[in-house]
Amino acid sequence: MSNASTYIDIYTSLGYLFYSVAAGDGKVRLAEVERLKALVKGKWLPLEASRDEFGTDAAHYIGISFDFAMGEAMDSEEAYNRFAEDFRTHASSYDAGMKRLVLETATAISEAFARTNKAERERLERLGRLLGR
């Protein structure tokens, strides 16, 4: 990835992806939101140092778009499709480590409340295929 706007696009679409996993069963739970926030802070913010024109670390866009999708009660399939479309646009920006982190984050969100349910498992399998894993 070569510039901040590319990171912002990617991180925004990742927020939609992670929302689609959390909302896959029709309800986003507090445990899922808290897991996402912890993962953004612990894994995504340290990943690289891109910032927007206001000095905000681009990785914060994961949480921003997740919150937006949740506030709009976006359909989980629509949110997933937003990610999938952006992934196809920026596929060359996803190296093996980034793909692994995407899957780890999505899996952790699905496991945050009870255990991964059927809808979440299907979304994770679909994501794995999209990422070529």
Q: Return d(Cα 28, Cα 21) in angstroms, integer.
A: 9
Alpha helix (H) residue ranges in 1-133: 4-22, 30-39, 60-71, 76-89, 96-111, 118-131
- Please tell me the pTM assigned to this model: 0.91
- Partners of 57 in beta bridges: 51
pLDDT at residue 1 tops 60: no
Position 58 scores a pLDDT of 85
Q: Return d(Cα 1, Cα 5) in angstroms, integer.
A: 9
Query: CA-based Rg of the chain, rounded to a whole angstrom?
Result: 14
pLDDT in tens, 86-112: 999 999 999 999 999 999 999 999 989
- Partners of 92 in beta bridges: none
- Partners of 51 in beta bridges: 57
Residue 2 confidence class, pLDDT cut points 50, 70, 90: very low
pLDDT at residue 51 tops 90: no
Q: Which long-range contacts (CB under 8 A, 24 or more apart) does 48-55 make?
A: 48/1, 48/7, 50/1, 50/3, 50/4, 50/7, 50/8, 51/4, 52/4, 52/8
Position 3 scores a pLDDT of 67
Position 50 scores a pLDDT of 80
pLDDT at residue 61 tops 70: yes
- Number of alpha carbons in the 13 Å side-chain half-sphere of residue 63: 17
The separation between the first and the last C-alpha atoms of the chain, rounded to the nearest angstrom, is 20
Residue 7 confidence class, pLDDT cut points 50, 70, 90: confident
